[in-house]
Amino acid sequence: MRVLVVGNGGREHAICWKINQSILVEKLFCIPGNAGIQEIAECVDFSIDDIQAITGFAKDNAIDLTIIGPEIPLVLGLADSLKKEGLKVFGPDKEAAKFEGSKAYSKDFMVKYNIPTAQYGVFTNTDNAIHALGRFDIPIVVKADGLAAGKGVLICESKVEAEEAIIEIMQKRQFGSAGDQIVIEEFLTGTEASLLCFVDGNNIIPMESARDYKKAYDGDKGLNTGGMGCFSPNPIYTDRLKAYIDNHIISNIRTGLKEENIDFRGVLFIGLMIENDQAKVLEFNVRFGDPETQVILPRLESDLVEIMMKVVEGKLQESDLVWSVKEAVAVVIASGGYPNNYEKGKIINGLDKIDDDIMLFHAGTILKDGKVVTNGGRVMAVACIEENVEKARNKIYNNIGNIIFDNMQYRTDIAKLSDD
Ligand SMILES: Nc1ncnc2c1ncn2[C@@H]1O[C@H](COP(=O)(O)OP(=O)(O)OP(=O)(O)O)[C@@H](O)[C@H]1O
Ligand SMILES: [Mg+2]
């Protein structure tokens, strides 16, 4: 098979790494890829939002399966465009991608199908939104409806702050048209967890659990980031919680998809808030998570391409997925200053000094004059799969110091369970 992956993050490197192990694959392409992906796939330099160019490439190169990593091309309808050309694609079409493209759409779906979630209101008018604040206790959560690169959610500690957030999003249009509508939401307490599921149009099959670390610094200090580390499995997933999620969330999503005639094929990412072995849905995303993918795929023993083809054909069964009992950890190395301003173009040294049982999943890297240099906020994830989380994390932290570039930063407490 000739396979194409779209995206350039650590998630896409992990997907390419796993696909590259499949005996079904004879040629792997990636658009646009990064310095790490370049070692295992032929990278082609189109922008991920250039639907026409990507579709043209897939057609001209007789691609048998395209896997769409990031949300932007999914929401823009890359899957629809590829399917129109008779091409196979892993990832939902534009209609189904609304689960990530519109928070209001997702919330309405959850309520309609009895999926537990926070109380909320949807507003298209600033005055109405401000007026409605009286109905909510503080803190109040204000969310831009559309895609805002993970920055469109504001947790407000007072009504004045919430009013400012509404004006910022709806009138000053901080996130552009993503703020045409907003969702105002009740604040939920508990522990967050994400559950990634393969969805084949009918079956919704959860992958192994993972826990990510969103804050920039040790001890969960600093700003929110795209994710600074992750490990799998997540000990919060007790059997009772699993049963609750199956009975109240997964089965209701399945009913909703059927009733609404939504043909979802790809990965549904369910963001959860957990308390007392019960869960409420915070949000849906319509693709693999980053960095969850970097710890989940190393634990998948089945052939990923075979699984993805079954998803595309609507023939996925629970039994198709075989998971390793081993545990995995990933620690993200970022550019100094991230998630605020940071410099690019720093030469990365020491990549050849890493032990063989360590996996390096590149994110913001690029090859320049034969050298790997930084090209983004999150630069790469250092990952390992071992008998248990403890062993994996020790191996990672024994190796990570060999990687050196100016101003690098990483958390030293990823998967450190004893302090929890
Ligand atoms: N109702 C809520 N109560 C408490 N915290 C919340 C609530 N809604 C969102 N959050 C916090 O804000 C974060 C981002 O919210 P959400 O997942 O809806 O936005 P997002 O920008 O789409 O995120 P992502 O980039 O992960 O897709 C959540 O991970 C959670 O920490
Ligand atoms: Mg989201």
Which residues have a beta carbon within 5 Å of ligand 2, which is an ion? 283, 285
pLDDT in tens, 339-350: 999 999 999 999
Percent of the chain surpassing pLDDT 90: 95
CA of 290 to the centre of ligand 2 (A): 12
Contact status, residue 29 vs residue 42, Cβ threshold 8 Å: yes
Q: Where are the beta strands (DSSP E) in 129-264?
A: 140-144, 153-156, 182-186, 191-200, 204-206, 211-217, 221-232
- What pLDDT score was predicted for residue 289? 96
Mean pLDDT of 231-251: 95
Pocket of ligand 1 (CB under 6 A): 118, 141, 143, 150, 152-153, 185, 187-188, 192, 271, 282-283, 285
Nearest CA to ligand 1 atom 31: 192
Percent of the chain surpassing pLDDT 70: 99
**Residues 6+ positions from 346 with CB-CB distance below 8 Å:** 335, 373, 374, 405, 406, 407, 408
Q: Ligand 1 pocket check: which of 157, 283, 288, 292 to mutate, most ligand atoms within 8 Å of Cβ?
A: 283
CA of 141 to the centre of ligand 1 (A): 9
Three-state SS annotation for 373-400: EECCCEEEEEEEEECCHHHHHHHHHHHH
pLDDT at 358 over 60: yes
pLDDT at 103 over 90: yes
CA of 28 to the centre of ligand 1 (A): 34
pLDDT in tens, 177-212: 999 999 999 999 999 999 999 999 999 999 999 999
The identity of residue 187, as a single letter, is F
- What pLDDT score was predicted for residue 151? 83
- What pLDDT score was predicted for residue 318? 81
CA of 100 to the centre of ligand 1 (A): 12
CA of 283 to the centre of ligand 1 (A): 7
Contact status, residue 343 vs residue 335, Cβ threshold 8 Å: yes
Query: Which phi and psi angles does 51 have, rounded to 5°?
Result: -55, -45
Q: How far apart are the C-alpha atoms of 360 and 351, rounded to whole Å?
A: 9
Q: How confident is the model at residue 20 (pLDDT cuts 50, 70, 90)?
A: very high
Q: How confident is the model at residue 59 (pLDDT cuts 50, 70, 90)?
A: very high
- What pLDDT score was predicted for residue 52? 98
Mean pLDDT of 361-386: 97
SS3 breakdown of the chain: % helix, strand, coil, rounded to 5?
A: 35, 30, 35
pLDDT in tens, 300-317: 999 999 999 999 999 999
Q: How confident is the model at residue 319 (pLDDT cuts 50, 70, 90)?
A: confident
CA of 282 to the centre of ligand 1 (A): 6
From the CA of 148, give the closest atom in ligand 1.
21
Give kind and range of the element (H or E) at residue 252: helix 251-259
Contact status, residue 178 vs residue 147, Cβ threshold 8 Å: yes
pLDDT at 419 over 80: no
CB environment 156-194: b (16+ within 10 A), e (fewer): beeeebbbebbebbbeeebbeebbbbbbbbbbbeeeebb
Among the bound ligands, the one closest to the CA of 281: 1
- What pLDDT score was predicted for residue 418? 66
From the CA of 189, give the closest atom in ligand 1.
4
Domains and CATH numbers, the chain: 2-90 (3.40.50.20), 119-186 (3.30.1490.20), 196-320 (3.30.470.20), 327-419 (3.90.600.10)
- What pLDDT score was predicted for residue 232? 96
Q: How far apart are the C-alpha atoms of 303 and 308, rounded to whole Å?
A: 9
Q: How much is the mean pLDDT over the chain?
A: 96
pLDDT in tens, 117-168: 999 999 999 999 999 999 999 999 999 999 998 789 999 999 999 999 999 9
Crossing angle, helix 10-19 and helix 304-313, to 10 degrees? 100
CA of 227 to the centre of ligand 2 (A): 13
pLDDT at 294 over 70: yes
From the CA of 186, give the closest atom in ligand 1.
1
CA distances from 86 to 38, 55, 327, 408 (A): 28, 11, 39, 45
